[in-house]
Amino acid sequence: MKLSDRFRVKPGSKVTLARRDPDDTADLADKKAAKKRMQKNLERLAELQYRLYAESKRSVLVVLQALDAGGKDGTIRHVMGPLNPQSCKVVSFKAPTDEELAHDFLWRIHRHAPRHGEIRIFNRSHYEDVLIVRVHNLVPKSVWSKRYEQINAFEKILAQNHTHILKFYLHISKDEQRQRFQARLDDPTKHWKASEADFAERKFWNAYVKAYEAALSRCSTDDAPWFIIPANKKWFRNYAISEILVDTLAKLRMKFPAPKADIANVKLD
């Protein structure tokens, strides 16, 4: 079974994260085997990115969501880092500014949608408005509960305008999160990543799991599927996402545009 089928959330299905093993590595036994496959995927991904940029008829949006220390930055560094930055860009969404709060919650997101020929990566995304907003009661339930359908409608608009959407939830265990937080405390070179706010959020773990389950269940569609990626093992997380990206882009059957010059008759001095 392809990883894109194994980890995809089927539209209309109910997600229970406790039934998903964050240590799952599919058919891969170890990091060494994954590294070999990963290298081939990165080479192929670079080729497909080049075709996407040259063709310039469609775009790709990659959404990364996870609990704190889930590995979003690591995924970007290892999977998307080798790509050409001319047509692969990252947008990180922090707490909204006053200007952003003065608009609908999707306004700041739509402004960063990828242009044709581009891969755009969202490090956190519009889903924060049904995650942290829900967990911390930043707006009434009567407001955030309507956002699932609004998100689906928004993503459908992007898809109908030739943006291919892939959403990855990086699934780690609570114990793995604790170990990663401890590593930040033990390593002086990682102290800058230590955040009291992140540590404090651990007490809301169950509430976040419930919020994620709702988002994954209600917002995985044919236009914008969710993939639940086992992420306790970083090497498998990176490999799985690279595999799904290659599989998806290859199916687009992108073609180079016709040359603007009559190549056969070009004579250079």
Q: Contacts for 191-197 with beta carbons within 8 Å, 24 or more apart?
A: 195/68
Residues 141-188 pLDDT 10s: 999 999 999 999 999 999 999 999 999 999 999 999 999 999 999 999
Alpha-carbon distance 176 to 191, whole Å? 18
- Residue 46 pairs with which residues in a beta bridge? none
220: amino acid identity, one letter? S
Examine the pLDDT at 259 and tell me if it is beyond 90.
no
What pTM did the predictor assign? Answer: 0.96
Q: Domains of the chain (ranges plus CATH)? A: 3-96+116-143+158-253 (3.40.50.300)
Alpha-carbon distance 196 to 26, whole Å? 35
Q: Which whole-number Å values give the CA distances from 15 to 23, 65, 98, 194, 213, in the listed order?
A: 17, 15, 34, 31, 5
* Residue 237, number of CB atoms within 10 A of its CB: 27
Alpha-carbon distance 240 to 220, whole Å? 18
Examine the pLDDT at 197 and tell me if it is beyond 90.
no
* Interval 58-69 mean pLDDT: 97
State both tokens at 228: 């639940």
Q: Residue 41 — pLDDT band, cuts 50, 70, 90? A: very high
